[in-house]
Amino acid sequence: MSIIKVSCSIKPVHGKANFEWLYLLDALIVLPVLCLILIKNKKEAALKALMLCSLAILVGSYIVPEQNKFLMHFLEQGRYGILVLIVILELSALITVYLAIKSALSQQTDPDTAIERPIKKLFKQSAIANFLCFETRMWAFLFYAKHIKPSYFTGEQHFSYHNKDGAQANLLGFIFIILLELPMMHFFIHFVWSSTAANIITGLTIFSLLFFIAEYRAVAKRPVSISKSQLIIRCGLYPAYNIALENIKSIDLNTDFIARARSIKRYNYSGYPNIKIKLIEPMGDINTVFLGLDDPHHFINAMNKERTNAI
């Protein structure tokens, strides 16, 4: 009976166990070790481990109860370090822009190549490299668009697309809409919700405004080009899409609406795309590419001549 009384007197204590250290063990030790094991490039592994650990700390700050936090309180202060890291990445993009564009202008080489070469040399072929290339391209056309000419890009023949169905004018319209909406939305959110939310949303809106300005300038500068061996499709700030001339089955005019599909790529800002390109061998899932150009007839004639020479 005494044993039963003693065992009954021991009451389970719920919610007192602190599993913060188990979570941090996975977040700060297991994740980095897995990255180092699974990713051969150690520099890329370290960067991905840093990003994953930062994300884990952010998630942990919400899911770990306040009464169970000890180390988490110190780690949460690291969000300021993440902010500094983002600023450093943006500054590195700006510095890369300056050096790359200066080199491109002096040698009149392809600005895309000048931007991508130093970034991919440092980060190889990775998601971070692709992100930095896009960011750098945005800053390049934001500040240096006047010094970039379509003729600098790779290719013997260049074709524009910014005038088709008022593509560039539509982008300018978006820019004016954002400018008009920005102050009104800021004050509305400031008084209705909070000043912090207003500042965050305004900051994101300003960044989107910079993107639209850079895109507005890029569409008139980055052409669709034909070289001796491939078709180079550039569209605004987005990465170039290269198609070997030998892999093109047919090129035709198009007048129909084209819906999104897994097997289709569309490069067209407004209206219907006016060129349809069918591939012999699919590139990934893509077997058909649609373009919207200012002068589709001239493009088709030029492509047919280059395809004949390539074959």
Amino acid 250: pLDDT? 94
Question: Which range has highest mean pLDDT (74-78, 188-192, 280-284)?
Answer: 280-284
Q: 75: which residues sit within 8 A by CB, 6+ positions away? A: 24, 57, 60
Helix (H, G, I), strand (E, B) or coil at 292: coil
Alpha carbons 307 and 279: distance in angstroms, whole number: 13
- pLDDT exceeds cutoff 90 at 69: no
Alpha carbons 207 and 135: distance in angstroms, whole number: 11
For 259-288, write each residue's pLDDT tens digit: 989 999 999 998 999 999 999 999 999 999
Kindly report the average pLDDT of the chain as a whole number.
83
DSSP notation for 18-70: --HHHHHHIIIIIHHHHHHHH-S-HHHHHHHHHHHHHHHHHHHHHHS-GGG-S
The residue among 198 and 283 whose pLDDT is bigger is: 283
Q: Give mean pLDDT, residues 237-256.
A: 94
Under 8 Å between Cβ of 159 and 293: yes
Structure confidence at residue 172 as a pLDDT band (50, 70, 90): very high
Amino acid 19: pLDDT? 62
Alpha carbons 276 and 286: distance in angstroms, whole number: 13
Amino acid 213: pLDDT? 95
Helix (H, G, I), strand (E, B) or coil at 281: strand
For 214-233, write each residue's pLDDT tens digit: 999 999 999 999 998 999 99
